[in-house]
Amino acid sequence: MPESYIKRILDARIYDVATETPLDVLGALSHRLHNRILLKREDLQPVFSFKIRGAYNKLLRLPAEQRARGVIAASAGNHAQGLAMGAAQLGVRATIVMPTTTPQIKVNAVRMRGAEVVLWGDSFDEAAAHAHRLVEERGLVPVHPYDDPDVIAGQGTVAMELLRQHSGRLDAVFIPVGGGGLAAGMAAYIKYVRPEVKVFAVEPEEAACLEAALAANTRVRLPQVGLFADGVAVAQIGSETFRVLRETVDGVITVSTDEMCAAIKDIFEGTRSIAEPAGAVGLAGLKKYIEQNRCSNAVLATVCSGANINFDRLRYISERTETGERREAVLAVTIPERPGSYLQFCRDLGDRAITEFNYRYANSGEAHIFVGVQVTADGDRRRTVEGLSAAGYSVTDLTDDEMAKLHIRHLVGGRAAGLENEVVYRFEFPERPGALRKFLEQLAGRWNITLFHYRNHGAAYGRVLVGLQVRPAERGELQALLQQLQFPFWDETDSPAYRFFLAS
């Protein structure tokens, strides 16, 4: 029974390596969502993840003979760092098998702490199978990342701290789930000490192994898992963790990649720290719960479970954040191919900010544009589409279209067959509401626009690439007009990049 974990959790003596992390109030997000939102900061552990708790607790419980043989684990990174640090503290030799897809920052951190790293396979399960072979070959002692009572008990100390730090009203706690160690340990403790508090497990839609197991009433193995949230990319819930979770959780919430990206931004704005995708899963589920249940004036807690993220992933996360917050509508809109049609489209949008505008000339009849529009929620997005349709535009909503967001937005364009007299200019203008519309108004619809690329990146200056059909005799007139715009601009008509990929 889950009650058996209470003594294990209370007896966990992990604090010579792990630290008691703060429970922060996310003030701005609480105000925006009309609920009090608490964030347990496990990203502030020495290894930037809660995993140090369970790994070290397991090492402490091993007999001296087993420690002398050395330990081994398969891990996507955070358990690896925790085990490596704990093993170094106790003078135990550690070997870590990591999937080849593990972020390099985690690989480097494990090696830095003195463990031997073996990179194997594309997933956790392939790495785990190889670790099992090494156990037999080398006589090493396995330390499972989640499916072990001592590991689960170590993770349960997160809940022990949380309930001690916040003894007042608490309506629900949202816990990220990969293999289930953190969720099992926390849920067992919370339901024993504060049974009135609801506990929700949160998983990525692409790795929802607990949801599948609960639906089938038995553990199932997912045929494949998404790797965006690599820290929770597990195909099958643990045996022991499932036994505990099926008795303790009140429900499972699944979240999308975009929702995780939005939660990463929320954590950054509230703490100035950058969570890894798995670290933001719990907050993404909390936000979804509020939206689906129209919840207000509740006290809700979650865990930022880790902050081990490769810096180069931030570009992708930033790109997906606005959609994840339901603050951006991504639309395909058909407008007439004639001078002034862009300006009219912007006017028909009214005061809505345009976040992206991609277009390349195709024919003389219709122009198909890829446009991002700032909205406040799904209802506002629907009203935007309805308003444009009522104005006579053909509109397709691509906000939930993965191919559009991942690929098409970067591929709109190419060479335009039969296009004559095209010139290409690059512009910068101060980024403020309505700036793009004012830019188009100053161009005055004098020439047909054949190419347009704009993306709002939150910088001080907006950057636009524009193609225009301008006869040679009119190019002096164009230059005079551009000088009057008082925006920095560059003639890119002879640019090698334009000649290679866009010129007809």
Q: Using CA atoms, how far apart are residues 134 and 47, in angstroms rounded to an integer? A: 25
Residue matched to tokens 């691509």: 398
Q: Which residues are catalytic?
A: 51, 305
> Do residues 338 and 365 make contact, with C-beta atoms less than 8 angstroms apart?
no
Residues 6+ apart with CB under 8 A from 303: 39, 40, 42, 50, 158, 174, 175, 176, 182, 186, 282
Q: Are 330 and 401 in contact (CB under 8 A)?
A: yes
d(CA 359, CA 337): 11
Phi, psi for residue 472 in degrees, rounded to 5: -50, -35
Q: In the block, which residue shows the tokens 């007439």?
A: 336
**Residue keyed to tokens 């640090």:** 85
Q: Please tell me whether residue 213 adopts helix, strand or coil conformation.
A: helix
Sign, Cα dihedral of 175, 164, 59, 51: positive
Sheet of 366-374, strand order: 394-397, 328-336, 366-374, 354-360, 448-455, 461-469, 422-430, 489-491
Torsion angle (degrees, nearest 10) of CA 247, 252, 257, 262: -100
DSSP string across 92-160: --EEEEE-TTS-HHHHHHHHHTT-EEEE-SSSHHHHHHHHHHHHHHH-PEE--SSSSHHHHHHHHHHHH
Question: What CA–CA distance (Å, rounded) separates 342 from 468?
Answer: 12
